[in-house]
């Protein structure tokens, strides 16, 4: 609807020339019919039949533009803030015609954009929009970019200092910063070029409009044909409309002076009422169209869009249309003002709603600030705990930036409070890491000492002495805390390299089958074959002694190569078979088997197999104890139940079995301790 009405109004503007021709033709006919035609020697005063007195030259006000505006024919209230606001905005547009395009450019939520998005938006505005129309957009984007980039620099600086860097050596730049600077530099260049050119045009246009006012002033009392004078008047009006922008501070006074002299010319036309009344009628029709459109806009739900179009209507009313008959002036102006007030009232309601949203955003941001302050008061006990807080604060910072705008009156104070909260957290964080750095440098020296031990002994052949030493320094390394990040990887590689060099040599020797190990394997293989024909004494005790003797002989044959150790498993199975034939008590048989197993696991150079076995035994002991406790607890549920009850008897049986099992596991644990 807005575009349709404004288009119709623009059609009127485009038809001004045709309308003027119509008025002039009517004027000619009227002049001929009434025989009122001025000759060159006849003055206006002597032929005027209008009761209104035509001002003489001595009472005519000077058209020089001063700080005091010339009184307009429209009854404008002196303190009407809405009208003043609209006129000020139109004056701004009048200074630079490109300014009116600022209303058409979408105002985005710049405070929620990332650095890269802000840079892209600035590039788009500078490349696609008129430079004079994007000032407020660019200012907002520039402010947001500076704020967020400074925040990023603060973070990078803290990381740099925490990594051991010196504050005076810190420097940071990024591609997005360079991209933004290039776009902003291009904007400033275009602004300078535009206003340098505009300044000259404004001065020339002002001069041209003052000349038009002077010519208007000279039309009164001119001794020439009225039709010629009227045609000259219409030409001056067209020149005024086509003259470009003038300085903003001269706009209202220039227009008031121009309009004053236009009205004086119409008073001069009193000698030909029909000619003047046709023009008045023409202006009235167009002003009524403007009023109707304003009244339609007053019903529009989009208050801001309506107000922007209202500004255009006021501009057309003031700049492009002449006066109307005096009996209509006050009425139509009052009607226009009523519609203007309605639109403005809706705009004020819109602002109040926006203010409510801004207030809610303020509450969110204040809550975020309080949370950051709360985190800042908490004591930092560990690196991991502090890292968690850093992530929390970073999330809160992001939430702060995305919370939306707050009322302008508290914007700076809110931002300052937010920065203070973040800085307070950062100071405590930096203090923690400075203290941590001292400990880390102590740890660094301790680890360097261990590296020296490892590197000094990595080539030693005294495996029996050095192996326990190397294991000890590996254990000590794990107990030492963190070192500075920049040294961590480097010293770990040195330590690992020295330890690996030593243990590679140990493993290489262990994996190399010596002649003795090969001979031991061959002997064990023959011994294992001989056991197949072994007959045990019928006496159980003597049979046990015989088996233990076989085990001793087996162990005396020595170690076999690692890839031949499967033969120990075969021997274990043979012994198990012999023990089963003796019909021994379960516990006794298990312990004889277990001693043999431990003999196979034992390695003076490496206790890992025994360690694993001991851990397994302890785990089994804990499991059995847990099962016994559970069964005993279950018995408590059998109240007033006979002991001969099958369920009760089953629980007691299971408890007995588990206790026997526990006794066996404890015996195995005691046996394994003798190997250390």
Of 209-218, 369-378, 507-516, highest mean pLDDT:
369-378
For residue 338, is pLDDT > 80? Answer: yes
**Residue with more model confidence, 394 or 220:** 394
Is 108 within 8 Å of 134 (Cβ atoms)? no
DSSP letter for 512, please. Answer: S
| Residue 261 C-alpha from the chain's centroid | 59
For residue 109, is pLDDT > 70? Answer: yes
For residue 370, is pLDDT > 70? Answer: yes
Q: Report the alpha-carbon angle 633-639-641, nearest 5.
A: 115
Say how far apart CA 612 and CA 622 lie, in whole Å. Answer: 16
The CA–CA distances, whole Å, from 337 to 4, 326, 345, 581 equal 22, 17, 12, 121
Tokens 């890292």 -> residue: 387
Is 180 within 8 Å of 220 (Cβ atoms)? no
**pLDDT score of 228:** 81
Confidence class for position 55, pLDDT limits 50, 70, 90: very low
Confidence class for position 81, pLDDT limits 50, 70, 90: low
**pLDDT score of 94:** 53
User: How many residues are recorded in the chain?
Assistant: 676
pLDDT digit string, tens, across residues 189-242: 888 888 777 777 888 888 888 888 888 888 876 666 777 877 888 888 888 888
SS3 call for 174: coil
For residue 42, is pLDDT > 60? Answer: no
**pLDDT score of 619:** 92
Confidence class for position 28, pLDDT limits 50, 70, 90: very low
**pLDDT score of 475:** 92
Q: Largest alpha-carbon pair distance within the chain?
A: 168
Say how far apart CA 590 and CA 573 lie, in whole Å. Answer: 13
State the average pLDDT over residues 252-281.
Answer: 76
State the average pLDDT over residues 90-115.
Answer: 65
**Residue with more model confidence, 582 or 51:** 582
Confidence class for position 92, pLDDT limits 50, 70, 90: low
Q: Is the dihedral of CA 621, 622, 627, 629 positive or negative?
A: positive
Contacts of 653 (CB under 8 A, 6+ apart): none
Tokens 């549920």 -> residue: 637
Say how far apart CA 207 and CA 239 lie, in whole Å. Answer: 13
Confidence class for position 245, pLDDT limits 50, 70, 90: confident
For residue 31, is pLDDT > 50? Answer: no
**pLDDT score of 82:** 65
CA nearest 673: which of 631, 629, 630, 617? 617
State the average pLDDT over residues 136-158.
Answer: 82
State the average pLDDT over residues 632-649.
Answer: 76
DSSP letter for 112, please. Answer: G
Residue-wise DSSP of 212-276: HHHHHHHHTT--S-HHHHHHHHHHHHHHHHHS----HHHHHHHHHHHHHHHHHHHHHGGGGHHHH
Say how far apart CA 326 and CA 322 lie, in whole Å. Answer: 12
**pLDDT score of 87:** 63
**pLDDT score of 198:** 74
pLDDT digit string, tens, across residues 471-492: 999 999 999 988 888 888 999 9
Confidence class for position 276, pLDDT limits 50, 70, 90: confident
pTM for this structure?
A: 0.39
Domains in the chain: boundaries: 1-49+57-96+245-361, 99-206, 362-428, 436-511, 513-601, 609-676
**Residue with more model confidence, 369 or 605:** 369
């Amino acid at each position: 609807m807005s575009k349709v009405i404004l288009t119709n109004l623009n059609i009127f503007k485009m038809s001004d020339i045709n309308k003027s021709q119509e008025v002039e033709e009517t004027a000619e006919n009227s002049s001929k019919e009434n025989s009122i035609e001025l000759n060159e020697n006849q003055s206006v005063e002597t032929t005027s039949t209008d009761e209104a007195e035509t001002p003489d030259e001595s009472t005519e006000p000077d058209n020089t533009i001063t700080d005091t505006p010339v009184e307009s024919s429209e009854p404008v209230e002196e303190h009407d803030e809405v009208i003043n606001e609209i006129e000020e905005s139109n004056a701004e547009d009048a200074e630079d015609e490109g300014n009116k395009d600022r209303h058409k450019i979408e105002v985005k939520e710049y405070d929620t954009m990332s650095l890269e998005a802000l840079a892209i938006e600035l590039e788009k505005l500078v490349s696609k929009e008129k430079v004079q129309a994007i000032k407020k957009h660019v200012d907002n984007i520039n402010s947001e970019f500076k704020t967020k980039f400074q925040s990023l620099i603060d973070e990078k600086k803290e990381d740099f200092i925490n990594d051991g860097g010196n504050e005076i050596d810190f420097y940071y730049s990024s591609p997005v910063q360079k991209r933004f600077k290039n776009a902003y530099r291009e904007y400033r260049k275009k602004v300078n070029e535009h206003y340098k050119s505009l300044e000259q045009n404004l001065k020339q246009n002002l001069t041209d409009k003052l000349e038009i006012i002077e010519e208007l002033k000279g039309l009164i009392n001119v001794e020439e044909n009225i039709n010629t004078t009227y045609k000259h008047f219409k030409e001056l009006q067209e020149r005024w409309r086509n003259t470009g922008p003038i300085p903003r501070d001269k706009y209202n006074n220039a227009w008031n002076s121009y309009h004053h002299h236009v009205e004086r010319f119409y008073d001069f036309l009193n000698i030909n009422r029909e000619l003047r009344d046709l023009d008045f009628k023409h202006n009235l029709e167009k002003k009524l169209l403007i009023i109707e459109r304003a009244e339609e806009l007053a019903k529009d739900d989009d208050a801001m869009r309506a107000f922007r179009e209202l500004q255009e209507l006021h501009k057309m009313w003031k700049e492009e249309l002449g006066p109307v008959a005096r009996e209509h002036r006050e009425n139509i102006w009052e009607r226009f003002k009523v519609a203007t007030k309605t639109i403005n009232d809706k705009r004020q309601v819109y602002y109040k709603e926006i203010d409510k949203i801004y207030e809610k955003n303020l509450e969110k941001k204040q809550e975020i600030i309080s949370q950051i302050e709360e985190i800042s008061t908490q004591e930092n006990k560990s690196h991991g705990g502090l890292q968690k807080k850093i992530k929390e604060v970073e999330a809160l910072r992001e939430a702060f930036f995305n919370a939306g705008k707050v009322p302008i009156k508290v914007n700076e104070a809110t931002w300052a409070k937010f920065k203070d909260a973040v800085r307070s957290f950062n100071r405590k964080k930096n203090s923690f890491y400075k203290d941590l750095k001292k400990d880390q440098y102590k740890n660094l020296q301790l680890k360097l000492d261990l590296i020296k031990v490892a590197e000094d002994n990595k080539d030693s052949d005294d495996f029996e002495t050095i192996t326990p030493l190397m294991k000890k320094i590996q254990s000590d390394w794990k107990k030492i805390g963190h070192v500075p990040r920049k040294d961590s990887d480097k010293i770990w590689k040195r330590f690992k390299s020295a330890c690996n060099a030593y243990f590679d040599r140990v493993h290489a020797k262990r994996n190399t089958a010596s002649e003795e190990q090969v001979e031991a394997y061959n002997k064990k293989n023959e011994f294992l074959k001989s056991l197949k024909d072994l007959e045990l004494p019928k006496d159980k005790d003597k049979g046990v002694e015989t088996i233990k003797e076989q085990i001793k002989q087996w162990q005396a044959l020595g170690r076999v190569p690692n890839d031949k150790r499967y033969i120990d498993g075969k021997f274990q199975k043979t012994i198990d078979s012999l023990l089963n034939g003796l019909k021994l008590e379960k516990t006794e048989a298990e312990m004889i088997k277990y001693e043999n197993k431990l003999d196979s696991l034992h390695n003076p150079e490496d206790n890992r197999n025994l360690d694993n076995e001991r851990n397994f035994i302890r785990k089994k002991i804990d499991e059995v104890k847990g099962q016994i406790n559970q069964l005993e607890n279950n018995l408590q549920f059998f109240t007033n139940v006979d002991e001969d009850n099958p369920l009760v008897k089953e629980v007691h049986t299971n408890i007995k079995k588990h206790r026997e099992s526990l006794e066996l596991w404890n015996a195995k644990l005691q046996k394994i301790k003798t190997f250390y």
